[in-house]
Structure 1
Amino acid sequence: MKQLIIIFLFLLSASVLFAQEGKRYIKKGNELYQQKKYKEAEASYRKSVGKKSKPVEGNFNLGDALYKQKKFAEAGEQFSNLAGASPQNKALAAQAYHNLGNSFVENKKLEEGISAYKKALLNNPKDDETRYNLAYAQEMLKKQQQQNKQNQKNNKDQQNKDKKDQDKNKDPKKDPNKDPNKDKKDQDKQNQDKKDQQGEPKPQPGQLSKDDAQRMLDALNNQEKQTQDKLKNKKFKGAKVRVSKDW
């Protein structure tokens, strides 16, 4: 019995030492993170995770450090593991899903990001930042889908044009669109242009005056400025950072 007590006390002492050492690594990682030394912070957090002390805080902060280094796939994996392992802790799950969504969006995976944001809101419906990022990702996905449709249409139009050009080049003499009097018309036009140059300048049909052109240019510039002003108010919000949260 005495031997069992000694072994238990030894294991307890070792566990306390590991816990204290793990806390030191987390604290050091937080200091490095605040100094924007994200690579060094990542290394320190990994050591804290290895010590199995405060694994939630160490793992969450490790994900943040990876995110700051633009290692979005690795960061997403970290946050995904945290979210899945914390179903009872809704606050932690919401934070992890939010950052998972950000990792997906930064990695151009909009549909996955939208799904993660929705899960974050299920755990914390009052999170306006997550709701904003969800709307942002949905808008970006809509634009992406519209652009894909336009690209497909452009490709199809180009293919049709190429086919027509190929058919036309097979036998130029049989081109139904070729005007047999085109050469004569071109020569007549050149002669008329020479006559016009000798007299007063002849106004061209549909030609804009200088004032009209300036007004159109001003209107276009004004529209561009309005568009830029709208975009300034619609920017993606980054990861929620929790480097000292005691879960």
Structure 2
Amino acid sequence: MKQLSIIIVLLTTAFSFAQEKDIALQKSNDYVYDGNVLVEEDFVAAEKEYRKAISEKPSNTSGTYNLGNAYYKSGLYSEALLRHLETANSATTKAEKHHAFHNIGNALMQQKQCKEAVEAYKNALRNDPTDEETRYNLVLAKECAEQQGDGGGDDENKDENKENQDKENEDKKEGDDKKDENKDEGDDKEDKDGKPKDEKGDKKEQKPQPGKLSPQQVKNLLEAMNNQEKKVQEKINAKKVKGEKVKTEKDW
């Protein structure tokens, strides 16, 4: 009987903890929604809502993701880059990683860090090889990198194509995409000159912001994330060889 009481207490505690997590996630999503409503008219108020969302549930990538989008649309590309790097680092689904890396690439392109943008777009494609807009942006980034003397990387295409083929064989749109709350500036089309534009087409170049990441810092962060992605892929391939059923995406 005593043992039964202990089990009941443990189950009750676990259930209460799960409820608290659900409540925190819901509150965080509510703040994100409020931020999305405000962002076009009142950036400062929207920023506060996104920060509340992050504070309420730090693991909810919707907060950092949408705050990054808001910074990007306001021309604050350094801040946008930082937030999207946070999102990519915390993301648990391929859809989240794809959108985050795509937007990292856009922010880097705005700062003329084209070589780093190439790596970001390649990481985006590793998580969704079917996105033609990301592929188009990758071509622009490679051209920009070549013009800067950093090399665009025709020698990188073989590895990229192989990775893309592997990903296409692994999954058919695993469908954990964020919906209303994830308004993606990365979904905006590119101009012929290769500069990302927003829905209103009023993007303007900003002066470098204080605290901007150096190219080397960005490179190091992207390389670390890239290595993490490769390790995950190696584990997946190893399980395939053993004939085990592979779960390629964590539950939301």
Structure 2-normalised TM-score?
A: 0.51
In angstroms, what is the RMSD of aligned CA positions? 3.2
State the SS of the aligned residue for 2:149: helix
Q: Distance in 1 between matches of 2:93 and 2:25?
A: 22
Is 1:94 paired with 2:53? no
- Residue 46 of structure 1 is matched in structure 2 by 51
Unaligned runs of 5+ in 2: 151-190, 200-251
Alpha-carbon distance change, 54 to 82 in structure 1, aligned in 2, over 3 angstroms? closer
Which residue is equivalent to 1:137? Answer: 141
Larger relative helix fraction? 1
Q: Which residue of 2 aligns with 1:165?
A: none
Is 1:22–1:54's contact at 8 Å kept on the other side of the alignment? Answer: no
Say yes or no: does 1:235 pair with 2:208: no
From 11, 27, 30, the equivalent of 2:33 is 27
Does residue 41 of structure 2 align to residue 82 of structure 1? no
How many aligned residue pairs are there? 154
CA separation of 1:120 and 1:140: change in aligned 2, threshold 3 A: same
For residue 133 of structure 1, what is the amino acid of its counterpart? N
Match of 2:61 in 1: 56
Letter paired with 2:42: K
In our comparison, the structure showing a higher alpha carbon Rg is 1
Name the TM-score, length of structure 1 as normaliser. 0.52
SS at match of 1:235: coil
Please tell me whether the aligned partners of residues 110 and 195 of structure 2 are also in contact (alpha carbons under 8 angstroms): no
- Post-superposition Cα deviations, 1:25-67, rounded to whole Å, max 9, x if no partner, equal 111101012x243332121111011111771212211111121
Instruction: Find the aligned partners of 1:83 and 1:52 in 2 and give their Cα distance.
Output: 16
Structure 1 residue ranges without an equivalent (≥5): 147-231, 241-246
User: Residue type of the partner of 2:29?
Assistant: K
Post-superposition Cα deviations, 1:87-138, rounded to whole Å, max 9, x if no partner, equal: x511111111000011111112111111101111111111111111111122
- Contact between 2:68 and 2:80, CA under 8 Å: does it hold in 1? yes
Report how far residue 20 of structure 1 moved: 4.0
| 1:99-114 equivalences in 2 (<5 Å) | 99-114=103-118
